[in-house]
């Protein structure tokens, strides 16, 4: 009887153990998946460097590494990320359910920092995916309120509005990545949230600000050149009209003086000489001034176009498209 009792207990315990194991597996399913994905995984040096440079916490590194990030060349990036288009300078893609993070390999040294911000941006997409329903509801409200009341940067506002049109279902997800990596001052609630992922979020924003200035400084200079060129053109056009009128006046005076000379009216002729010479001198002076303005205009056009070309080159450097400069 005692043996039968033991066997009966064993038969009761075995299913309980099985159920308990199943419940543990279900409750920690993501942890199990992470363990499998990270088992024997060694991030490439350039990937681990990005995690360190962006001050990712251990939690963030896990979310980053579990996606086996790859810094990809143009061909690989286009293959892996052809269904996703970023509207910001950040160039990368994240495939949900731990199916990969791809970062475009930007080689232009003037844009150092792009890959760092890209890495942080895409890691945050993975982090957003892992928020519980309650957490996501709370963070979504914080992000939406911040955008409605605090975001003044027109570039960021236009970026978010572009996402509102093209990817409305991912709008808050994009806010979650963009605000953390591109805005220096956030609310205490958002700062607390992002502290789970960055030891020093300001470092990431500094990367974004530094490479963004490579664009904005040149774009602002182009605008300044355009304003100066507009003013010069208006002055040259006005001078040209004035020269035409002055030339007609001088020719009329010449005809009158020739008439005086032909008629032997020396007194009238001599009386006009000083005024005629003054007009000719003023005319020649205006010609010289206009020629200088034209030379200055042509010089500024060359400088302005050189800057515009640099902007196009920078844009090409961060574009995965084959011939972005032709668009």
What's the Cα-to-Cα distance from 283 to each of 102, 234, 250, rounded to whole Å?
A: 66, 19, 9
**What integer pLDDT is reported at residue 85 of this predicted model?**
46
**What integer pLDDT is reported at residue 14 of this predicted model?**
54
Residue that the structure tokens 């032709």 belong to = 326
Q: Of residues 32 and 205, which shows the higher confidence score?
A: 205
- Angle, alpha carbons 88-93-98 (nearest 5°): 145
CA distance linking residue 33 with residue 68, whole number of Å: 13
Q: How sure is the predictor about 43, in pLDDT bands with cuts at 50, 70 and 90? A: very high
**What integer pLDDT is reported at residue 23 of this predicted model?**
42
The residue-averaged pLDDT of 216-243 equals 95
Q: Of residues 2 and 227, which shows the higher confidence score?
A: 227
Answer whether 312's CB lies under 8 Å from 215's CB.
Answer: no
CA distance linking residue 69 with residue 126, whole number of Å: 12
CA distance linking residue 43 with residue 36, whole number of Å: 15
Cα torsion angle, 241, 247, 249, 251, sign: negative
In the sheet that 70-72 helps form, which strands lie side by side, from edge to edge?
Answer: 70-72, 100-104, 92-95
The residue-averaged pLDDT of 43-71 equals 97
What's the Cα-to-Cα distance from 286 to each of 152, 241, 282, rounded to whole Å?
A: 47, 11, 6
In sequence order, the β-bridge partners of residue 265 are: none
Rounded to 5 degrees, φ, ψ at 73 are -75, 175
Contacts of 218 (CB under 8 A, 6+ apart): 307, 308, 310, 311, 314
pTM for the structure as a whole = 0.76
> Mind listing the pLDDT tens digit for each residue in 251-279?
999 999 999 889 988 889 899 899 999 99
Rounded to 5 degrees, φ, ψ at 71 are -85, 110
Q: Of residues 316 and 295, which shows the higher confidence score?
A: 295
Residue 176 has pLDDT above 80, yes or no: yes
Host H or E run for residue 92: strand 92-95
**What integer pLDDT is reported at residue 91 of this predicted model?**
84
**What integer pLDDT is reported at residue 317 of this predicted model?**
83
> Mind listing the pLDDT tens digit for each residue in 125-161?
999 999 999 999 999 999 999 999 999 999 999 999 9
Answer whether 33's CB lies under 8 Å from 65's CB.
Answer: no
């Amino acid at each position: 009887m005692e043996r039968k009792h033991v066997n009966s207990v064993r038969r009761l315990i075995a299913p309980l153990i099985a159920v308990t194991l199943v419940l543990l597996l279900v409750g920690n399913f993501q942890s199990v998946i992470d363990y499998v994905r990270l088992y024997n995984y060694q991030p490439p040096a350039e990937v681990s460097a990005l995690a360190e440079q962006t001050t990712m916490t251990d939690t963030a590194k896990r979310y980053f590494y579990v996606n086996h990030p790859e810094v990809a060349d143009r061909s690989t990036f286009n293959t892996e990320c052809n269904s996703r288009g970023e509207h910001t300078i950040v160039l990368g893609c994240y495939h949900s359910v731990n199916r990969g993070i791809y970062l475009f390999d930007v080689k232009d040294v003037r844009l150092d920092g792009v890959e760092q911000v890209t890495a942080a941006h895409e890691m945050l997409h993975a982090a957003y995916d892992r928020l519980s329903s309650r957490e996501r509801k709370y963070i979504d409200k914080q992000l939406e309120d911040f955008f409605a009341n605090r975001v003044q940067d027109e570039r960021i506002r236009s970026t978010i509005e572009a996402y509102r049109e093209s990817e409305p279902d991912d709008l808050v997800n994009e806010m979650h990545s963009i605000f953390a990596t591109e805005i220096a001052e956030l609310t205490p609630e958002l700062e607390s949230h992002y502290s789970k992922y960055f030891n020093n979020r300001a470092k990431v924003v500094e990367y974004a600000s530094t490479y963004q200035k490579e664009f904005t400084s040149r774009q602002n200079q182009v605008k300044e050149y355009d304003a100066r060129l507009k003013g010069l053109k208006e002055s040259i056009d006005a001078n040209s009209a004035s020269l035409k009128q002055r030339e007609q006046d001088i020719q009329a005076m010449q005809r009158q003086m020739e008439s005086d000379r032909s008629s032997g009216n020396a007194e009238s002729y001599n009386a006009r000489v000083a005024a005629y010479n003054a007009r000719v001198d003023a005319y020649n002076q205006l010609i010289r001034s206009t020629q200088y303005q034209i030379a200055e205009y042509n010089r500024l056009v060359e400088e302005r176009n050189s800057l515009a070309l640099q902007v196009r080159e920078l844009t090409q450097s961060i574009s995965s498209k084959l011939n972005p400069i032709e668009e």
